Amino acid sequence: MASWLWSSSKTAEAPSGIPDRSARQQCWDARDRYFGCLDKNSIVVPGQEEGKTCKAEDTDYRKLCAASWVEYFNKRRVLQLRQDLMEAKAAEQRASGGPITGVKA
Amino acid sequence: MKLLRTLTPTFRSTTLRNSPSSLRPFTLSAARCYSSPSTPPAGNPLPAGPGESGSKRQDKEKGAVGPFTLKAAALFGVTGLGLWYYFQTEKAALKQRKDQETATAKIGRPKIGGPFTLTDQDGKEWSSEKMMGRWSLVYFGFTNCPDICPEELDKMGLVVTSIAKSHSTELLPIFITCDPARDDVKAVKAYVKDFHPSLVGLTGTYESIKKCCKAYRVYFSTPPNAKATDDYLVDHSIFFYLMDPNGKFVDAFGRSMGPQEVEGKVARYLEQWDTREGRGPWSE
């Protein structure tokens, strides 16, 4: 019932109903499909894709999630990926620093 | 105040430790005298002897006081007094340290919560009096919350269910909105339906919600001039609180804690609760 209300707000500018459990799940699934597409195309920041890349996924995502949610998820994706990258770099440095200390010992 | 409290013991213990150290020579000799009564007669003339003037005075005083010179008696008295003072102050310092430990334990538990009156999902007045006599879990969120609130409320539901099974105790799960502009009774009713059947959803006027959030130390910020029809998110702190049957705060659980971890902690608190006394180790 509420999911019908939710999907009826096509533009998702303002939620015309409260997203219920299934509406939330639909939104998260659409988000994951879109982000999965970005990953496949090695795009970190949503919106930086060109042409028809991930267009269908993005449209679906924006249809099933409120604009505020899209904005939130997109920002969080960038932050998360940056954090992952920093952690990976730190781990790499630790790994490359390992043998030197090993030689010293 | 807190600084003072942490500073005083160190200040105290150093001054105390310094003053007895100047008394130490006496203390040592006194201890020797006390522990073996056979030594004093042999050892006594020696410390009094070395100085020339000392031995002269000793000769003069000998007749009057017998084997004990006035000086030795004075020394004994001073030593005794010193010892007494030392033990007294050490005892006081120890007591102070102990008091301080319990004080920090009490200070460490923040004052969270307090009475409030809001409206439940059926539009009825709901006061915190209903939390009395029951353990409750309190979570602050908003119905348009993208992912954190539903995850946390699901976690809360899991904890309620498992504690009901393991401890035959019905925790009272409570959701309080920090978005009163949009979350009216209808919205809250539709929202709580998705979670644990006993979940209570509360809303109220902006002022009453703000007061309640403040009591629970929940920070939240709605965009300025937000209208009920706007699409926005609310920044808010994302802990849920365990309150004891007296309505007193016990612990807060963060997002990083999984349902099992929370469940384990809640179970331990329940087991620590003294039903007859109606208190736990965290009670004042």
In this predicted model, what pLDDT tens digit does every residue of B261-279 receive, in sequence order?
999 999 999 999 988 888 8
Distance of CA A104 to the CA centre of its chain: 44
Query: How much of chain B, in percent, has pLDDT values that exceed 90?
Result: 47
| A4 pLDDT above the threshold of 70 | no
| Cβ neighbours of B255 in A, within 8 Å | none
Which amino acid does the sequence have at B10? T
**CB–CB contact B147 A28 (8 Å):** yes
Q: What is the tally of structural domains in chain A?
A: 1
Tokens 């609310």, located at residue: B234
Q: How far apart are CA B277 and CA B88, in angstroms?
A: 36
Confidence of residue B209 (pLDDT cuts 50, 70, 90): very high
Q: What range defines the domain where residue A26 resides?
A: 2-8+17-104
Q: How far apart are CA B135 and CA B243, in angstroms?
A: 6
Can you tell me the ipTM of this complex?
0.72
| Cβ neighbours of B233 in A, within 8 Å | 68-69, 72
| B211 pLDDT above the threshold of 50 | yes
Return mean pLDDT, chain B: 78
Confidence of residue B45 (pLDDT cuts 50, 70, 90): very low
| B226 pLDDT above the threshold of 90 | no
Q: What is residue A99's predicted lDDT score, i.e. its pLDDT? A: 53
DSSP per-residue codes, chain B: -HHHHHHHHHHHHHHHHHHHHHHHHHHHHHHHHHH-TTHHHHHSHHHHSSSHHHHHHHHHHHHHHTTS-HHHHHHHHHHHHHHHHHHHHHHHHHHHHHHHHHHHHHHHS-------EEE-TTS-EEEGGGGTTS-EEEEEE-TT--SHHHHHHHHHHHHHHHHHHHH----EEEEEES-TTT--HHHHHHHHTTS-TT-EEEB--HHHHHHHHHHTT--EEPPTT--TT-----EE---EEEE-TTS-EEEEE-TTS-HHHHHHHHHHHHHH-BTTTTB-TT--
Q: What is residue B108's predicted lDDT score, i.e. its pLDDT? A: 59
| Cβ neighbours of A72 in B, within 8 Å | 146, 233
pLDDT digits (tens, 9 = 90+) for A7-40: 444 333 334 467 899 999 999 999 999 999 999 9
| B56 pLDDT above the threshold of 80 | no
The pLDDT of B197-207, averaged and rounded, is 96
Tokens of B267: 């179970």
Of B187, B191, B230, the CB nearest to A14: B230
Non-local CB neighbours of A99 within 8 Å, separated by 6+ positions: none
| Cβ neighbours of B190 in A, within 8 Å | 2, 17-18, 20
Judge residue B163's burial from the number of C-beta atoms within 10 Å of its C-beta, 0-12 exposed, 13-18 middle, 19 or more buried: buried
Q: What is residue A35's predicted lDDT score, i.e. its pLDDT? A: 97
Confidence of residue B1 (pLDDT cuts 50, 70, 90): very low
Which of A96-100, B53-57, B127-131, B156-160 has the weakest average pLDDT? B53-57
Residue A93, chain B, CB below 8 Å: the answer is no
Tokens of B148: 């954190």
Nearest CA among B105, B136, B133, B120 for reference residue B240: B136
The pLDDT of B37-62, averaged and rounded, is 46
Contact between B173 and B199 (Cβ < 8 Å): yes
pLDDT digits (tens, 9 = 90+) for A39-88: 999 999 999 999 999 999 999 999 999 999 999 999 999 999 999 999 99
The pLDDT of B8-36, averaged and rounded, is 39
The binding site of B for Cu cation comprises 145, 149, 236
Nearest CA among A5, A36, A28, A7 for reference residue B148: A28
Maximum mean pLDDT: which of B47-61, B151-165, B204-218, B231-245:
B151-165
pLDDT digits (tens, 9 = 90+) for B79-105: 888 888 888 888 888 777 766 655 545
Q: How far apart are CA B208 and CA B180, in angstroms?
A: 9
| A105 pLDDT above the threshold of 50 | no
Contact between B231 and B179 (Cβ < 8 Å): no
Query: How much of chain B, in percent, has pLDDT values that exceed 70?
Result: 71
Nearest CA in chain A to B192: A20
Confidence of residue B128 (pLDDT cuts 50, 70, 90): very high
N- to C-terminal Cα distance for chain A? 68
Q: How many CB atoms lie within 10 A of CB B248?
A: 19
Q: What is residue B39's predicted lDDT score, i.e. its pLDDT? A: 42
Contact between B200 and B175 (Cβ < 8 Å): yes
Confidence of residue B107 (pLDDT cuts 50, 70, 90): low
Contact between B188 and B200 (Cβ < 8 Å): no
**CB–CB contact A18 B231 (8 Å):** no
Which of A36-40, B31-35, B115-119, B238-242 has the weakest average pLDDT? B31-35
A-B Cβ pairs (cutoff 8 Å, strict): 38
Give the CA angle between residues B221, A34, A66 to the nearest 5°.
35
Q: What is residue A6's predicted lDDT score, i.e. its pLDDT? A: 44
